[in-house]
Amino acid sequence: MKVNVGSGNPVKVRATENVLGLIYGDVEVRGVEVESGVPDQPVGLEETVRGAVNRARRAFRDCELSVGIESGLHRVPETITGFVDLQWCAIYDGEHITLGVSAGFEYPPMVVEEVLAGREVGDVMDELTGVDELGRKRGAVSFLSGGLLDRTGNTEQCVLMAMIPRMNPSLYGLK
């Protein structure tokens, strides 16, 4: 099975390959650079999901499935910062989109303040941790969780959740 991921980020490609490999066995997963059509730092449910869906649709060429993954800050009441980071995955087969979301977590208040002032989470976290391109490696979630969950594992969550309708097609009215 050929699968395109609408990103060149190795974490997104690896997470997709890990999950789809468990489900389908032999998969060929490749990253395809596409535009998300949303700001580099999405804020809110609609913007983040739209970015994932756009990536999946734009990466669909010469493949059976395409995957779009987008992280964004979402307003959540009763949190320290008022925001939680969630990764959304959209999987497209040329006809249907299925969606899934990862476990969410809060960034430190200073990170959220910088992001709301117009910076990208990745840039702020790189400065905070001293790790260049942290999001293309172990990710902020690994740093903040003390290594108990890395970005690949967090990304695998949203890919798996997006696959649930495809794993149970008769329950979801899919072919």
Residue list, annotated binding site for Mg(2+): 35, 62
- Going by their DSSP bridges, the two strands 65-75 and 83-92 should be labelled as antiparallel
The three-point CA angle 23-28-31 to 5° equals 110
Per-residue pLDDT of the chain (175 residues; tens, 9 = 90+): 999 999 999 999 999 999 999 999 999 999 999 999 999 999 999 999 999 999 999 999 999 999 999 999 999 999 999 999 999 999 999 999 999 999 999 999 999 999 999 888 889 988 888 888 876 777 889 889 999 999 999 999 999 999 999 999 999 999 7
For the annotated binding site, the residues are 35, 62
Predicted confidence at residue 95, as pLDDT, reads 97
Place of tokens 């840039």: 123
Domains of the chain (ranges, CATH numbers):
2-102+152-172 (3.90.950.10)
